């Protein structure tokens, strides 16, 4: 079903921690994009909250990486490729290098390894199949790890608030732990007013397998991670591994933080770190106009309002034997220039052979959409067939605008009619 394709697209890059929370399918409310930072950026935020991380530098060329390794003056160095995806340890570069995380005692080797990472694509279980280009590496002081645990704090719909999730079996394959030994996954709901209580933090630390003085230390780290979670308006803080060293230290060896986009106005410093280079450029452009863009494989562009309507539209197109090329969701309060921007984005995609507009106006004023459409058609000299289905607020006015425009716009009476006409328009060509 087309809708399944859609959900998969939406969920691509969704947090792995979410798999622990429920057996039902984890779905997002809308195709929003949560800000995601690189590990080194997340670790800086952690440092500021008193969370224990290794000393590190970042580098964007091999010489700098080698010099950073010298400057660290550590017994052993860990070199880590920075991409917005997990599973780097088991990843592969298109330079032939295996592993996005390497340990060595020799700064010269750091330089050599960095030259096989930087500028190359790293493919992991969580990246697209061609991988993601590495532009930065992290050079950190390596510590011995005697045990790896998993710890995360995230928002859970079922608990109506934040929840801690942890496992004594941390490290690289936490998804498998969740699938095979769910009894080793521990959860603890956090009262948003009370915060993490001492007894909760200690119980989680004990469940993670920290013993003796390490239990208190781990509990302290857990509380500091929650402070950070609140302070930066995170939707998820994931540490895998949260490890212990033979010297008796609890350390966050990896860091993944996602942020609530609605908090952008009060988290300016965090959002300023946003690196959109790894995002789809069309998605980024769409976001500038408050439009959500999801690219798909077919040839019918869809312009809709609301995620549910997007799914329905994709399904009905599928039912009529067509395939959606993408969809743009314009959400609620729409402006004419958004409609124009939307058409520009939709028609820029060479796969698009027809456009289907499906607007069910509630808050959305159909007349504004109609004006936006006619303006876009004229100025962009639209070359592909356009099928429009409008319903709801001010629809009569909207239909009049479209029919009086003299433009070759095919009106549709309902979604089924629209999908049928869009598929037929392509078949005719």
Q: Which residues are catalytic?
A: 150, 238
Does residue 426 belong to the site contacting ligand GDP (CB under 6 A)? no
Supply the minimum distance, in Å, between the C-beta of residue 293 and ligand GDP. Answer: 28
**Range in contact with ligand GDP (rule: CB under 6 A) among 85-93, 310-318, 382-390, 412-420:** 85-93
13 lines the binding site for ligand GDP (CB under 6 A):
no
> Is there a binding annotation on residue 126?
no
d(CA 301, CA 295): 9
Cβ closest to ligand GDP, residue 103 vs residue 158: 103
Report in angstroms how near the CB of residue 12 gets to Mn ion at its nearest. Answer: 19
Which one among 150, 210, 253, 360 touches ligand GDP, defined by CB under 6 A?
253
Please say which residue, 73 or 403, places its beta carbon nearer to ligand GDP: 73
Sign of CA dihedral 158, 163, 168, 172: positive
Q: From the list Mn ion, ligand GDP, none, pick the one residue 144 interacts with, judged by a Cβ distance below 5 to 8 Å according to partner type.
A: ligand GDP
Quick one: what does residue 13 bind among Mn ion, ligand GDP, none, with the CB cut-off 5 to 8 Å set by partner type?
none
Query: Quick one: 78 or 316, whose CB is closer to ligand GDP?
Result: 78
Q: Does 331 bind ligand GDP (CB under 6 A)?
A: no
Least distance (Å) from Mn ion to the CB of residue 126? 11
Residue 172 as a binder of ligand GDP (CB under 6 A): the answer is yes
Q: Label the pairing between strands 386-392 and 354-361.
A: parallel
Site string for ligand GDP, 213-252 (x = CB under 6 A): ---------------------------xx-----------
Residues forming the annotated binding site for Mg(2+)?
240, 254
């Amino acid at each position: 079903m087309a809708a399944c394709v859609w959900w998969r697209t939406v969920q691509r890059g969704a947090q792995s921690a979410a798999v622990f929370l429920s057996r039902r399918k984890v779905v997002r409310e809308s195709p929003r994009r949560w800000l995601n930072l690189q590990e080194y950026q997340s670790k800086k935020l952690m440092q500021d909250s008193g969370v224990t991380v290794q000393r590190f530098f970042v580098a964007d060329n091999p010489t700098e990486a080698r010099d950073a390794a010298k400057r660290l003056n550590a017994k052993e160095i860990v070199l880590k490729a920075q991409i917005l995806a997990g599973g780097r340890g088991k990843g592969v570069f298109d330079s032939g290098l295996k592993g996005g995380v390497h340990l060595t005692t020799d700064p010269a080797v750091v330089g050599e390894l960095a030259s096989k990472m930087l500028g190359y694509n790293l493919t992991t279980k969580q990246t697209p199949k061609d991988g993601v280009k590495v532009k930065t590496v992290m050079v950190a002081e390596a510590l011995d790890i005697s045990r790896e645990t998993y710890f995360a704090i995230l928002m859970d719909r079922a608990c109506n608030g934040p929840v801690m999730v942890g496992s004594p079996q941390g490290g690289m394959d936490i998804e498998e732990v969740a699938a095979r030994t769910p009894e080793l996954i521990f959860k603890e709901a956090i009262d948003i007013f009370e915060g993490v209580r001492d007894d909760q933090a200690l119980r989680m630390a004990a469940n993670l397998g920290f013993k003796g003085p390490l239990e208190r230390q781990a509990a302290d780290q857990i509380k500091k991670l929650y402070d950070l979670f609140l302070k930066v308006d995170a939707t998820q803080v994931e540490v895998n591994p949260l490890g212990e060293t033979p010297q008796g230290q609890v350390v966050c060896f990896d860091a993944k933080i996602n942020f609530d986009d609605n908090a952008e106005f009060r988290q300016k410093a965090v959002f300023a770190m946003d690196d959109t280079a790894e995002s789809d450029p069309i998605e980024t452009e769409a976001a500038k106009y408050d439009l959500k863009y999801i690219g798909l494989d077919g040839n019918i562009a869809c312009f809709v309002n609301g995620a549910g309507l997007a799914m329905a539209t994709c399904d009905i197109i599928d039912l009529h034997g067509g395939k959606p090329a993408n969809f743009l969701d314009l959400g609620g309060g729409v402006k004419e220039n958004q409609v124009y921007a939307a058409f520009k984005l939709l028609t820029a995609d060479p796969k698009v052979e027809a456009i289907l507009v499906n607007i069910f106006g509630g808050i959305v004023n159909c007349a504004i959409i109609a004006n936006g459409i006619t303006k876009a058609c004229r100025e962009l000299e639209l070359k592909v067939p356009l099928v429009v289905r409008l319903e709801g607020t001010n629809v009569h006015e909207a239909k009049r605008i479209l029919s009086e425009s003299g433009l070759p716009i095919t009106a549709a009476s309902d979604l089924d009619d629209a999908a049928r006409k869009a598929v037929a328009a392509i078949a005719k060509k």
